[in-house]
Structure 1
Amino acid sequence: MFRFRLAVAIVVSFCFVLLLGFALYWGSNQVARHFQRSQMAYEAFDRYERLSQEAYRHFKQRMDRLITASPAAEAGVESSKHRLYEAMQELRNTAVKTPIAESHTEDWQDKPAELERVAHFTAFLDSSEYRFDEVERLRQQGKNEMAVQALSKFSEEEIDGKFQPLIDAAINAEREKAGQAKQELEDLVAQSRWIAILASLTAAIFSLTSGALLLRGVRKPIEALMKGTDEIASGNLDYRISLDTRDEFAYLASHFNQMAQELGLQQNKLREGRVVLEKRVAERTFELHQLNEELKRMDNERREFLADISHELRTPITVIRGEAEVTLRGQDREAEEYKDALHRIVELAMQLGKYVNDLLFLARTETANLQFEWDSVDLAELVAGAVENFQVMAEENSISVSLDAPTEPVWVRGDKQRLRQVLFILGDNACRYSTPGGHIAVALRVDGEMASFSLTDQGIGIPAQDLERIFDRHFRSRNALASRDDGKGLGLPMAKSILKAHGGSIKVTSIENSGSTFTVTLPLISIEQDSKQINEK
């Protein structure tokens, strides 16, 4: 619709331009034609003037020759006659040979009158030559008076009465034609000026009117489109352009709304993709966090593993060193005593081998992850051997060790090396935290279906507020930290884990600065299992 209105305005404007151009072209042609007519009239006027001058000059020469009869006058007559006939021939040629295409209708209508005038001039000149010849014959015959009378009569009647009015009429006619052409030229210029003014005013009025109508038709759609672009640019993709027209702007607005809708859909997809991406990033971040925590846990386990190594290897090495030193200090010992000492050293070396092979399990706190070599163990024999090792460790601080245990075997099911590890942990702690010259009392009892092992020292004791935490990994009571700085707080948690795997338990009672008592309970083997074990022995 808008394109049609614009096309109409362009076509009409083009028609105005063509009309104005045609008017200017027609006016220029008319001006050129009238100017040509005026020029032709003035040229004809000049030719008639020349004809008049040459005619009077010739007439004067003929009269002078008739009067004076001198040879010079004869030469002037011939010369003037030649010029007169040239002027007459030029006038005749111009009148006869004027192209029709170059002549206006009115000029062509005047052409017969001009030809008639030319014919009259020709006839007059011919008759004047005849009359002059008649006068010349009269003069030659000696009839001078008659020749003068005839010449005077010819001058008055023919030259003044006929030729002069004829030439005056021709000159006046040409002058009138030149004036008429000039007036028509001036009228045409004025007419062309008004035509140009009217055409310009009409074109200007049409241009202003059509421009105003087109501007009025496009202002509202353009404002709506500009507002829509501003809304879209500001991020309001829900905005829609509403136009009630049926032109190109409505088509553009519909496509603009479709574009905004597609942009909104794309933005929603991008938002959903960003949410999914953020979710995946969060998941990957959580996984990385878990991996990081796992690495931290593994690093902590590595540290604990190294701490367990130092802690667990220290006690057997100390006992082995003590056994070797005690044996070397003895001067008069029997071979059986050396054999017993070496046997204990071998057992402690096997204990160290067990530690080296099972160091991985020492780094784990969950009993379900520990591996054991289950067998029937004589707890009385195990405790008695451990007490002998305690005595070696206690000699450094002049600490005495006593054992109260039944003489018959006390059978439990467990891992001998790990149970010895529990005894070493308790004995090592008692020796380290007991005051010099103190005493460590070890007792083994059987109470129903449970075996009970207790170890009482006369050491620094445990503060009441720390009793519930001493089995936590890496925890040490405040007085233990003040007494020794080489502990890691790993032994008691490990002993508790081992006993838990055996179905037993460990408890502690303590008085600060008086000593502590650790009590270990383990389930006994049933009577059938006990009898079978005795028979095997």
Structure 2
Amino acid sequence: MYRLRLTLALSAMLALVCLQASFVYLGTVRVDGYARHSRLTSDLLSELLDLSANKQRLRNWAAQQVMGAGATDAARERLLDAMDASVRRLDEMTRRHLESWKDIAERDGVPVPAEATQLVDISALLGHSLVELRRQLRALTPHQDREGFEAVWRQLNQVFDMTHGRDLRDLLNGAIESQRKAVPIARAATEQGIERLRLQAVAMVGITFALAVLLSLHLSRRLKRPLDALLEGAQAVQAGRLDHRIPVGNGDEFDHVARRFNAMVQEVQQHREAAEKVRRGLEDEVRARTGELERAHQSLQQLDHRRRQLFADLGHELRTPATVIRGEADVALRAAAPSVDDYRLALQRIVAAVKQLTGLVDDLLLIARAEANELDIARDWLPLGTLLDGAIAQARALAAVHRLTLAVDAVPDGIDVLVDETRLRQALVIVLDNAIRYSRPGSAVRVAWTAGDGRHRISVIDTGIGIPEDELPLVFERFMRGRLARDHRADGTGIGLSIARSILAAHGGSLEIESRVGAGTTVHLIFPDSHDAPLVTAGAHDE
């Protein structure tokens, strides 16, 4: 649209320039015609004056010839030739003068002056007069007789002044006078043509200038708005505002440019959003990987801490049975005359200490494997009632010693679990042992079973001393025994619950404790149903 307007404007300017050039050309042609007509009029006057002067000179020569005053033939011929040339030029110039008047009359709508036609006739008469005059003058001889002289002079005057019954002198003088009047008229016409041309040129220049100004203002106004919009869009993009869009809807070339600009900005915005999305994704991934590394680092630190703690615990716990073994051996060796019974008693104490030491080492190794995810779990299908019966059978003797009642809820037949029987029974026995040892004589320990949400829950409930609330978060720490536990019984290593928890974690389950001081403790052994049990056997470490 703008291209069309620009083309039309330039075409209009070109047409106006061409029109102005045409006016100037036509005016120049007209002025040139007036100028040629003016020059021709002046030349006719000059030629007529020359012809009249030569005619007068030739008359003087004739008078001298008649009077015998020494007129030469050469002078006569020179004057006749000059007049003949003037007549020929005059004939050609009068014809051109008449054609020039006809052009002016046709162009300006004025009549052709009669003097122009008369000049043509006069030039023809002058030609005939010059032929007759040439013949008469060549035959002219000097005359001594005065009467004959007068007759000859009258005859010559007749030839000089009369041609075809017309007074050539009056015609020539009239033509001269007429041309004298025509010269200023022709000059005035030339000046008038030049002035008209000047006015036309000024008018055309004014019109061209006004049209150029109007077209410039129009095109500038039409050009300013879209350029300002494009500039504003470019500045917005430079400032990072990729949501800026240039208004469209005009349908011109700038509208197409604006549409392309908007499409480009939209594509840049999409690329930036995609890059931003990728950047955020990378940042999230980096944060996730950093978190994993931090967690791995913390895990490694915890494993290293536990390793050091394990070595410290091993050194602390192994020192007691090792000291007992060494002490019994030293006592037996230092005895003066020990009997066989003394050696037997010492060896029995050493064997008991070795058994204690071996059990402690096995427990610590189990915890270490669990923390390193290396605790082997050999799962197999077995009835849940069989698992409970085996653990209860081991705990009944201890319950009888402590004068406690052990009650077990019945487990329905047909409930099978996929577990490591030895490991899970070990965990259940540990929990039962703690419940029996930290209960008061005459009380009862109850074993209950529930199922739901894809899990089995075995609960050991006692009415013993309980655990203080501030010590509950620490009960799974190795070798940790609370103040009530130490007051109730002096023995115990404090690693049983840690072992039981590791076994449950290796089965994909957990160990939960609820307790209240003086009211008893409930321990829940939770492990998945057989259909939800993990297929990979692995241990779990405490955190």
Name the TM-score, length of structure 1 as normaliser. 0.54
Change (3 A) 1:119 1:468: closer
Find the residue that maps to 2:334 and give its secondary structure.
coil
Q: For residue 473 of structure 1, what is the aligned residue in structure 2?
A: 477
- Shift of residue 38 of structure 1? 1.3
Find the residue that maps to 1:358 and give its secondary structure.
helix
Find the residue that maps to 2:495 and give its secondary structure.
helix
Distance 2:100 2:44 in 1: 18
Q: For residue 321 of structure 2, what is the aligned residue in structure 1?
A: 319
Q: For residue 150 of structure 2, what is the aligned residue in structure 1?
A: 149
- Shift of residue 184 of structure 1? 1.3
Distance 1:181 1:443 in 2: 151
Q: For residue 81 of structure 1, what is the aligned residue in structure 2?
A: 80
Change (3 A) 1:492 1:286: farther
Tell me if 1:185 matches 2:190: yes
Find the residue that maps to 1:473 and give its secondary structure.
coil
Q: Which amino acid aligns with 2:179?
A: E
Distance 2:262 2:60 in 1: 106
CA contact 1:61–1:80 (8 Å) conserved in 2: no
Distance 1:154 1:283 in 2: 140
CA contact 2:33–2:100 (8 Å) conserved in 1: no
Distance 2:287 2:316 in 1: 43
Q: For residue 488 of structure 2, what is the aligned residue in structure 1?
A: none
Q: For residue 29 of structure 1, what is the aligned residue in structure 2?
A: 29
2:368 is aligned, of 345, 360, 364, to 360
Distance 2:497 2:9 in 1: 104
Matches within 5 A, 1:229-248: none
Matches within 5 A, 1:510-525: none
Q: For residue 57 of structure 1, what is the aligned residue in structure 2?
A: 57
Q: Which amino acid aligns with 2:64?
A: D
- Shift of residue 150 of structure 1? 3.5
Matches within 5 A, 1:58-457: 58-68=58-68, 70=70, 73-95=72-94, 104=103, 112-133=117-138, 135-136=140-141, 139=142, 143-153=144-154, 159=160, 162-200=167-205, 222=225, 285=287, 289=291, 292-293=294-295, 295-297=297-299, 299-320=301-322, 322-324=324-326, 326-328=328-330, 330-332=333-335, 333=338, 336=344, 339-340=347-348, 343=351, 347=355, 350-351=358-359, 354=362, 357-361=365-369, 363=371
Q: Which amino acid aligns with 2:87?
A: M
Distance 1:444 1:36 in 2: 150
Distance 2:90 2:292 in 1: 126
Change (3 A) 1:356 1:233: same
Distance 1:95 1:204 in 2: 45
CA contact 2:44–2:179 (8 Å) conserved in 1: yes
Change (3 A) 1:345 1:379: farther
- Shift of residue 180 of structure 1? 2.7
Distance 2:229 2:500 in 1: 84
CA contact 2:229–2:246 (8 Å) conserved in 1: no
Per-residue CA deviations over 1:311-349 (Å, capped at 9, x if unaligned) read 034322453255236524623455646754664575466
CA contact 2:160–2:168 (8 Å) conserved in 1: yes
Name the TM-score, length of structure 2 as normaliser. 0.54
Distance 2:184 2:69 in 1: 45
Find the residue that maps to 1:104 and give its secondary structure.
helix
Distance 1:120 1:61 in 2: 22
Distance 2:481 2:442 in 1: 32
- Shift of residue 36 of structure 1? 0.9
Distance 2:74 2:500 in 1: 176
Distance 1:236 1:265 in 2: 10
CA contact 2:41–2:97 (8 Å) conserved in 1: no
CA contact 1:135–1:147 (8 Å) conserved in 2: no
- Shift of residue 24 of structure 1? 1.7
Distance 1:76 1:259 in 2: 97
Q: Which amino acid aligns with 1:115?
A: V
- Shift of residue 289 of structure 1? 4.0
Change (3 A) 1:165 1:103: same
Change (3 A) 1:207 1:305: same
Per-residue CA deviations over 1:289-313 (Å, capped at 9, x if unaligned) read 4774465245324412431232034
- Shift of residue 30 of structure 1? 0.3
Change (3 A) 1:347 1:42: same
Q: Which amino acid aligns with 2:200?
A: I
Q: Which amino acid aligns with 1:358?
A: L
- Shift of residue 25 of structure 1? 1.7
Distance 1:6 1:351 in 2: 104
CA contact 2:48–2:176 (8 Å) conserved in 1: yes
Distance 1:90 1:53 in 2: 15
Distance 1:378 1:475 in 2: 22
Q: Which amino acid aligns with 2:316?
A: R
- Shift of residue 29 of structure 1? 0.6
Change (3 A) 1:340 1:200: same
Q: Which amino acid aligns with 2:151?
A: A
- Shift of residue 182 of structure 1? 1.3
| Equivalent residue pairs, number | 424
**How well do the aligned residues superpose, as a CA RMSD in angstroms?**
6.6
Change (3 A) 1:355 1:320: same
Q: For residue 39 of structure 2, what is the aligned residue in structure 1?
A: 39
Per-residue CA deviations over 1:473-498 (Å, capped at 9, x if unaligned) read 3898999xxxxxxxxxxx96524445
List alignment gaps of at least 5 residues for structure 2. 106-111, 380-386, 403-420, 432-436, 446-467, 484-491, 505-510, 518-543
Distance 1:378 1:13 in 2: 118
- Shift of residue 109 of structure 1? 7.9
Per-residue CA deviations over 1:4-47 (Å, capped at 9, x if unaligned) read 98888777666544443332221111001111111222222232
CA contact 1:364–1:370 (8 Å) conserved in 2: no
Distance 1:340 1:377 in 2: 24
CA contact 2:20–2:204 (8 Å) conserved in 1: yes
- Shift of residue 443 of structure 1? 13
Per-residue CA deviations over 1:443-484 (Å, capped at 9, x if unaligned) read 99986888xxxxxxxxxxxxx9987787463898999xxxxx
Change (3 A) 1:275 1:357: same
Per-residue CA deviations over 1:479-522 (Å, capped at 9, x if unaligned) read 9xxxxxxxxxxx9652444588999x9x9x9xxxxxxxxxxxxx
Percent identical: 12
Give the stretch that moved more between structures: 126-135 or 41-50. 126-135
List alignment gaps of at least 5 residues for structure 1. 383-404, 407-412, 423-441, 451-463, 480-490, 510-537
- Shift of residue 54 of structure 1? 3.0
